[in-house]
Amino acid sequence: MTSQKLYATLKFLEALDSKHGLQKSLEAIVQALTNLVSSPAQPQYQSTLASALSSFETAASKLGESITPSQYSAIKDMGGEEFFDPLIADKVKVSVQTNAMTPSVAKDFVQQLSSKRSTFLSTVREARQNLETLGIREAEMEADSADIAFLIPRDIFDNQLGSLAKELIFISRLMQDFSEGVTGQAEQVKLEQLSSSIPTVALLAGVGVIGAVATVVNKFLEAWEKIERIRRMRAELAEMGLKGTALEELTEQITTTVEEVVEESTQIVLVNYKGDEGRKQELGNAVRKHARRLFGQIERGLTIEVRVGARTDKDAESQKALKTIDNLGKTMQFPLIAKEPILLGNGEILEGEIKTTKSSKKTTTHKTSTSNKEIQKDGKQETK
């Protein structure tokens, strides 16, 4: 985690707790239980406890929709998972209900949770203040703008500088070809931030371009859930001793699912392209190649984050696009590193060349994309 991302996470946690009043509601439950323990016959204390529990439950229910998967991962790394768990209210409620006759037990549980959470929040506040003292803050974004960050785990490039350079070139080409497909013109992508602990490349680009990349990534992540279900089913059938056609059909379904997402992604990028038809075909080939490699790298741990700046009321169409990006960023749930890669197997990332293997029940063909101008057709290579 970079220092700027750490700062952003700390600031986010403070704002989130303050906005929903989580700690205050939890402390109100502690006080209500304390009163109930000292005077169990007082009916108003039961009512106060019920009201405090309801307030805390309402506040906790907002956590699920307020914290993105990326933010939750950062919170978990900091040891705060327990304190911002959307199910935290359920745990408190269960403790109170199961100890209705012994409220002192529930009080001890909630008091301990509240104390630990308060200590964590104090640490968060102090850490944020210390970072500010050192001059470290979150990078400010301009209003009505968006950025996109690629987090490249070191396992992808084996700590080799040359391999990292290939990843950066790939990201640059992807963004340029996507921008030409979306806007009709290849944009020069600007580097916003570059961090080295987990190599992170944050880029500024047009809202439409970032929206297209985020949409394509989400399409693959949705397909990934389907692919994982198929994999589990295939593994269960194999354990049962089933062989042959049934397993082959499941394997083919995985390949078909990926190819469908690649084609859908290409259509998303080029849907409004109004340039020359020949160039559109070249871009289509390039986008397909980029999508396959992007999905392959996501399998190996690549993650992508998108952010939007403050939104104004200047341009309704732009505001709609920014809202879409914001929503996509909140739903990106990246998979664990795959034990069985679908796309880019070891040794298949070559010098500017990507091999993809396509299987079918009848035949197996191998396609290699080496440039935007070379097209595979009927097993033969033609140059346009």
Do 282 and 186 sit in the same domain of this protein? Answer: yes
Same domain, 150 and 120: no
Q: How far apart are CA 202 and CA 204, in angstroms?
A: 7
Looking at per-residue pLDDT, the higher value among 264 and 2 belongs to 264
Is 265 among the domain residues? yes
pLDDT-based confidence at 99, cuts 50/70/90? confident
Nearest to 83 by CA among 132, 24, 22: 22
User: Is residue 116 domain-shared with residue 163, that is, in the same domain?
Assistant: no
- Residues 121, 262: one domain? no
Our CA angle for 349, 155, 343, nearest 5°, is: 40
pLDDT score of 374 more than 60? no
Is residue 235 one of the residues assigned to a domain? Answer: yes
The average pLDDT across 73-97 equals 91
Last residue of a domain, one of 107, 133, 159: 133
Contact 290, 256 (CB under 8 A): no
Range 87-107 average pLDDT: 91
CA distance 342 to 111: 49
The pLDDT, as a whole number, for residue 343 is 64
- Band of residue 338 on the pLDDT scale cut at 50, 70, 90: low
Whether the pLDDT of residue 270 is over 90: the answer is yes
Rounded Cα distance between 172 and 161, Å, is 16
Whether residue 361 has pLDDT greater than 60: no
Please report the DSSP string for 188-228 in residue order: -PEEEEEETTTTEEEEE--HHHHHHHHHHHHHHHHHHHHHH
The Cα 284–Cα 286 span in angstroms is 5
DSSP string, 22-65: HHHHHHHHHHHHHHHHH-TT-HHHHHHHHHHHHHHHHHHHTHHH
**Residue range 13-28, pLDDT digits in tens:** 999 999 999 999 999 9
Would you state the pLDDT for residue 344?
55
383 found inside a domain: no
Question: What whole-number distance in Å separates Cα of residue 13 and Cα of residue 126?
Answer: 12
Query: What are the Cα distances from residue 39, in Å, to 35, 101, 102, 103, 168?
Result: 6, 13, 12, 11, 66
Asked if 55 and 188 sit in the same domain, the reply is: no
Q: In terms of domains, do 126 and 198 share one?
A: no
**Would residue 382 count as lying in a domain?**
no
Domain that holds residue 203: 146-337
| Residue 308 β-bridge partners | 146
Tens-place pLDDT, residues 36-53: 898 877 788 888 999 999
pLDDT at 250: 85
Evaluate whether residue 166 is within a structural domain: yes
pLDDT average, residue stretch 88-109: 91
- Do 208 and 182 contact (CB within 8 A), yes or no? yes
Give the per-residue pLDDT at 131: 92
Lowest mean pLDDT among 191-200, 223-232, 268-277: 191-200
Same-domain check for residues 178 and 298? yes
Q: Do both 58 and 200 map to the same domain?
A: no
Percent of the chain with pLDDT over 70: 87
Q: Tell me, yes or no, whether 228 and 129 share the same domain.
A: no
Q: Is the pLDDT of residue 268 over 90?
A: yes
Tell me the one-letter amino acid at 368.
T
The residue among 300, 317, 337 that closes a domain is 337
Same domain, yes or no: 308 and 217: yes
Report pLDDT digits (tens) over 64-73: 888 887 788 8
Number of domains in the chain: 2
- Please provide the average confidence, as pLDDT, over all residues in the chain: 83
Three-state DSSP at 287 gives helix
Same structural domain, 114 and 185: no
230 in the same domain as 81: no
For 305, the token pair is: 């984050």
Residue 287 placed within a domain? yes
Integer Cα distance of 343 and 354 in angstroms:
10
